[in-house]
Homo-oligomer: A and B are copies of this chain.
Amino acid sequence: MDEKYMSLALKEAEKASNILEVPVGAIIVHKNEVIATGYNMRESLKDPTAHAEIIAIKRASEYLNGWRLINCTMYVTLEPCPMCAGAILNSRIDRLVIGTKDYKMGCCGTVIDLLHNSNFNHKVDTTFGVLEDECKIILKDFFKKLRKK
């Protein structure tokens, strides 16, 4: 099941790649239904907050008509940055499934762990490494293509 949903997040990442955005995709699942999708649009929207996760969280809140994303799981191709990990905390998402680690900015355990900090009022069940190779390759290919240009 996790692989099926991660493959949908990968499809979102492809949409980012197609418009020359760093390919990261996210989806949010509520009771076995995909209620929101998002892909990185930082350059296109000229908005530093327009990461895949933030876009998906805003759409899921709209869909559920409230800011608490209870009983929701997010699938994201790359480990969330501080901003996105914080938004996941703020939205009370229950579970986070990550494709590949981010050794530069990853805030779900790799650089810092914001999702299991005893000071904060919410913890997020986190799974790493679902379709890890595919999630790595899409990023690697993107940067290779970018360097050639």
Contact = CB atoms under 8 A, between A and B. Distances in A.
A140 interface: no
A114 interface: yes
A119 interface: yes
A18 interface: no
| Residue from the set A51, A57, A112 with the largest chain B CB neighbour count within 10 Å | A112
Contact of A119 (B61, B65, B84, B104): B104
Contacts of A90: 48-49, 51, 81, 83
Contacts of A83: 82-87, 89-90
Instruction: List the 6 closest A-B pairs by CB distance, nearest first.
Output: A83-B86, A82-B86, A48-B91, A48-B67, A48-B90, A83-B87
25 contacts: A42-B67, A46-B62, A47-B58, A47-B61, A48-B57, A48-B69, A49-B49, A49-B87, A49-B90, A50-B67, A51-B90, A82-B82, A83-B84, A83-B85, A83-B89, A85-B86, A86-B107, A104-B119, A104-B120, A104-B121, A111-B117, A111-B120, A112-B114, A112-B117, A112-B119
Given A48-B92, A104-B121, 12 more contacts: A46-B65, A46-B66, A46-B67, A47-B58, A47-B62, A48-B61, A49-B91, A82-B85, A83-B89, A84-B86, A85-B86, A112-B119
Interface of A: 42-43, 46-51, 54, 57-58, 61-62, 65-69, 81-87, 89-92, 104-105, 107, 111-112, 114, 117, 119-121
